[in-house]
Amino acid sequence: MRPADDHYFYRPSEGHGLPHDPFNAIVAPRPIGWVSTRGTDGVVNLAPYSFFNAFSYAPPIIGFASTSRKDSVANAEATGEFCWNLVTEDLAEAMNATSATVPSDVDEMELAGLTPVPGDVVDVPYVAESPVAFECRTSQVIRLTAADGTPAESWLTLGEVVGVHIATDLLVEGVYDTAAARPLLRGGGPTAYFGIRPEQRLDMRRPR
């Protein structure tokens, strides 16, 4: 057991006192929310979010958090739809290109040289180059608050998955092969990303 005095302690409200905020590096690696939306003007938006995850089995619900009310949040709320696209290691540069700050009338999918595919259920395209995509209907857009109720400059967008696209080569005897997709995961600091390899797999069964 590590002794109690062998810890670096800080209160976030008073600053961390380190070269870079460790919060993102500790809660990591995280799946990337590569979210495509369509504005009410018809323009397609594609942006990556490092605060992303799954939150419910039934119905299947995923969500991403934005540190300001960006186009993805506004579009998902206005149209009630969005898609999530799996970022793989092969798509790292394209994903990074879509993180650029550009005017709302710029189509990031076109900017990054990606191919849009019309959704089967929602009127939002997903990325053809991505091996997995979820079509979603927006269920909630929530402005987060601090413990004392003070509104934060962060919005959580939740959506029910109503359509799933999976590349068939990732289904091995009907089971999705997580490592074979080579998902790219976000780490801490301004540049850190991680991958997943089959040799990193650990199998455990839950206690009954």
The per-residue pLDDT for range 52-72, each reduced to its tens digit, is 999 999 999 999 999 999 999
pTM here?
0.94
How far is it, in rounded angstroms, from Cα 93 to Cα 22?
Answer: 25
| Residues 109-130: tens digit of each pLDDT | 999 999 999 999 999 999 999 9
Per-domain residue ranges for the chain?
A: 29-195
Which residue's structure tokens are 């209907």? 137
Name residue 71's amino acid. Answer: D
**Angle, CA of 136, 139 and 144, to the nearest 5°:** 115
pLDDT of residue 136: 98
Give the rounded percent of residues in the chain with a pLDDT score beyond 70: 100
| Residues 152-197: tens digit of each pLDDT | 999 999 999 999 999 999 999 999 999 999 999 999 888 999 999 9
Kindly give, in sequence order, each residue whose CB lies less than 8 Å from that of residue 110, ignoring residues fewer than 6 positions away: 44
Q: What is the CA radius of gyration of the chain?
A: 18
Is CATH 3.90.550.10 the right assignment for the domain spanning 29-195?
A: no
Q: List beta partners, residue 193.
A: 186
The helix or strand, by DSSP H or E, that contains position 110, with its residue range, turns out to be helix 108-111
